[in-house]
Structures are given as structure tokens and as C-alpha cells.
Structure 1
Amino acid sequence: MKGRMVSLVLMFILTLSLVVPAGAQSVVSLSLRVYEDGYVLVNETISTANYTVALEIPLLGEYVEGLIAVDENGNVLPVEINGGNVTVYFENASLITISYYTPDLTSKDGPVWTVSLESPVPVEIALPENSIIVDLSDIPLQIRDNVVVMPAGNISVSYVIPIQTTQTTTTTTTSSGGTGGGQSTTVTTTTPSPTSSTTTTSSQPTGGPSEGSSGGGAWWVILVIILVGAGMGYAYFRRGERTRSRDTSNPEALERFREKIESMEDLNDDEKGALIFLIENGGKAPQSRVRKALGLPKTTAWRMFKRLEERGLVRIYKLGRENWVELVLE
């Protein structure tokens, strides 16, 4: 009996030793791709310790989406997220690459965006297209187009995304001769910033009275068609908005939903609190607002909303840079 207990203890200690802590592996490379809405795609490659079967890796953000881990051969590996770390399970891999999205690496102050993190290795950061760098925490190792490579340490890159503007220049040349009147050639040059393009319109004769009135009539017809199309598009958009928000603005439907969740005994207090908060706010709200109202960490709230979505009680969608959650009413 005593020998059996000793064996069980030794097996437990061996299992614990197979999980490599966050500081026992070596980061080989780290790259970031920053999107215009502030989300960042993280790609991190880690060298594993020998004779291990699991690796615990710290994440660069509390809130992550779409996490996947592969070995050097591209085989997908099982993972388990625990708070701010992810545990990757493997067999004979020497390199592991994890990829995921997170909004926690960026912040915005007015028009200025900032990417900030701490890294033990140089980091390659791909900024949004046409970004203008306004501040760096250190001298970059390399800059090419919209990609900057920063040295290891505390890294900060600030940038702005310029607003597209258009400048249009129109030049009209009129030539006259004979009895047929004159002919006008119009050249229109459109220059958007920061990129540019040139568009040339075909020449339009303006020699006789009948030609002038015909050309003017054609332009009026085109203008009317454009205005009618725009009006129909706006009406369709408003009708779609009314259709999407019809259920969530119905007090009776919200009250029936309240009675439904109060009868569901398998919901925990946080889940019921989130659903009641949505009922009291018209049926939908940003995830961050619900999370702050309940005092929940980002990861806990994210998992809670996923559970509610899987049960068909809420719908999660993206509006601008924020994730919104909306009740699914019958």
C-alpha cells in the first residue's frame, strides 16, 4: 500500500514537470499586423524545451480571438486558455507558432494611435496602409513601406492614418471655326490624397443649338437617375434598420424574455445579470458596457457572452471597433 502511494506521488510530480512555465521557453520571433480599427494580429514563434509535452505561453492581451497553435510542420496543436496564458500541448515539436487577434495592444488619443508592448526579441510591426509614424520609443532596426522593426524591450510606436481627400481640377478648351460653331473639350483631373489618379472625360461638342440642348438634357436625366437611386438606397437602408431593431424595441417581447430567463435555473448570476442589463437598455449594448456594469474581467465576460450565444439567447456582432451583444427575442 505504501509503495503504491509513493508511485502515485511520483507520477503526479512527473506530470507537473512536463508543463514548461512561461519563462522556460525561448521566443524566436514576434510580428504584429495592425489594422485600421486597432485590432492586432499577433504571430509568435517559441522554441520548446526538450522532453516536454506542454508549454505555457503568456498572451499579449487579456482579450483574444481566433487563437490557433501549430508546430513547425503546420500541424494544429490543442490549446487551453487560462487567464492571461495559453497552454499548448504537443509531442515532438521543437518550434510552436501561436496566432491570435487582440485589441489590447493599441490605444488612441485623438487622431494618434499607439502600439505598445514589451518583448524580449525584436518585433516586426506592420502598420495600416498609408500610416504616418509620429513617434517611436527607440531607433528602429529597419523601416520599409508601412513596416517598422523595433529592438527588444519596451516598445511604443505612434502613428496617424490620414483622411482621404480629393482635389479636382477642370480645364476647358474651346475652339471655333467655320459655320458649325465651336467645340469644347473638357479634361478633369482628380487627385486623391495620399494616392493620385487621373480621369479624362470625352469631349462634348457644343456647336449648334440642338446639340447643346440635347447634351444638357442627357446630363439632367443622369442626375435624376442618380438622385432616385440614392433615395431608394436610403429608404432600403432605413427599412432594414427598422426591421433589425423591431424586436428589441418591443416592451412586450422584452418582458416575455425577462420571464423566460427567470425560469431558467441553469443560468448563473452573472449570466442573468447580463441579460437583465440588456433588457433594461433596450435589448442591446456594447460588450464593454455590460462588462463594466457587472464588474467582470474581459476574459470572463467574453466566455460568458459566448456561452449565451451558443444557447441562442444573444447575438454578438461588431459595430465599428466595438463588439455589441443583442438579445435574441422570439
Structure 2
Amino acid sequence: MVRLAAILIAIVVWGAAEASFGALPHTEITVYPDGLAHVTAQVEVDPQEPSFVVGLLGTAVDSFVAVDEDGVLLAAERAGVSSMELETFGSGLVSISYDVHDIVSKDGRIWTFSLDIDHEYTLLMPGGAVIVGMNAIPRNLDTVGESVRLEMPSGPAEISYITNTARSVEPVAPPATPAPDDDGPSGDSGTLMLLALPLAAGAVGAFLAIRARSRRPGGPAPHIGEEPEPLDPEAVFARVPGLRDEDKEIVRYICENGGEVSESRLRKKLLRPRTSMWRAVQRLSREGAVDIIKRDSHNQIRIRREGGPQ
């Protein structure tokens, strides 16, 4: 009898925790060339609960927005290092979006996306990115324009890639395979795992190339295993003469970070007030140096190439 009561109490506590934190969200992550990641998710919550706590995918988070199914903005406050508490006011479905700065890192020319969560998610890589390694096999992959879209499983994942600012990438030697013990093949499973990871990454690249060719007859294959051309700010200055010094600083930063960055990232890195940065970006757009691209609740600023949109 005591055991039955304990089981019932555990079930009630588990159910309360599920209602407090909501169901597993449908999550989409977009990674931009400057390393910024934008997260959108939809979470089903208990409409009888006044609030719930949602976990964040990182600790360096800004531009957090939460709305209910009617588009009403919900109040939110930080509940922990990587969580937010939302006042749902009886809503059954909550949509959230935010920028996160610490799930993508850079070492030399190599960028690395790293994440470990308990549910599946969709990952859109930067346009023109070249994947050079991964430790998790996606459930599905596709291309969206020049970007690779991956359907990732739950659990830890690391994806290494280069963007079109990288001129060359030196090959990375595979890890040395330890010699088996004299007593028997106890190290065989670890050896097989070391061999399987490079083969899996190669299979993903081959599959993506074949799929892209079948979707774009006669067109170029997606950017897997080939070097994109870097951006030269001096070429922009030659094409658009007479730029102000502060505007040239913006152009240089964008070129050094893949040719496309968010406006909020520009403000933080160059320490410009919001209004001053907005005016500078508008001025660069009028003069034909950049394009302003609306994405969700923020602007992406992209270097305009010769022959690009006017």
C-alpha cells in the first residue's frame, strides 16, 4: 500500500513538472555567417497554468520575444542562467524567438556549432557554408537556396564548417587508433567508432551533392567540399566610392564575418547607438554597398555584390 502511494505521488509530481515546463517544443535554429544563431520554437502549455518555464539553448541570449496563439505579447523574465519564465494567461500554444551567441564558436578558420538538447530540431546552416565534419548523423538533410538544412536528432551534436571568408583549410589528421590489447579485441568497438565518423560525414556530403543536382538540373552542386570566394572590402570601396570612414568600418566588419551580419550584432561590435547604426545602414543601402534583409523580428545586413539586387 505504501509502495502504491509512493508511485501515485511520483506520477502527480511528474505531471505537474510537465505542465510547468510545457511539452517538448518544435525548434528551428538558423545560424548566420557571423556566428549568431536565431532560435524559434512553439511550445504547447497547459492553459490552466498561469505561467511556465522554458529552457533556453544558451546563456548569452537577447532579443527574446514570446507571443500566444493570438499574437499577444507575453511577459517574460529570466528564471535562471538558461531559462525564462513566461506568464501565459491561460494560453495553450506559445511561440518564442530569440538570438543566442554561445552555441557557435570559431577557432581559426573553422566554425563549430555545438548543442546538446533532449528533443529533435531543424538546423539551417549559413548560406554557402562548407561542412567539414560532424559527430551526429542527421535524420534528414536538404538545401534551401545556398544553405544546408539538417533535421537533427536529440542528444549532443557538433558540426564544423567554414564560411566564404575562409581562404583555405588545412586537412586535419584523423585521431590515432590505439593498438589492441594482447589479451583480446576489447578495443575494437572504439576503433570502429573512430572509423565510422569520417565515413558518415563523407556519406552526408555525397548524399547532399546528389540531391542538389537532382533538384537543380544543370546548376552547380551545393557548397560541400569546395572553397567559396572571400569578400574584399576594398572591392566594395572601389565600386562605391566616397563612403564615410564610419561606413567603411561597417563594410569591413561585414566582409570579415562572412558577408552578412545582423544589425544588432553590428551595434554591439562597433559600439554604435541604435539610431546611428540604423541611419548608417540605410545610407549604405541607398549607395548600393549593402542589402537589408528582413528576417523574423530583426534585420540582416548583406554586402551587395556586383550584379546583385538594386
What TM-score does the superposition give when structure 2 sets the normalisation length?
Answer: 0.48
Which is strand-richer, 1 or 2?
Answer: 1
Structure of higher RCO (CA pairs closer than 8 Å, 6+ residues apart): 2
Larger radius of gyration: 1
What TM-score does the superposition give when structure 1 sets the normalisation length?
Answer: 0.45
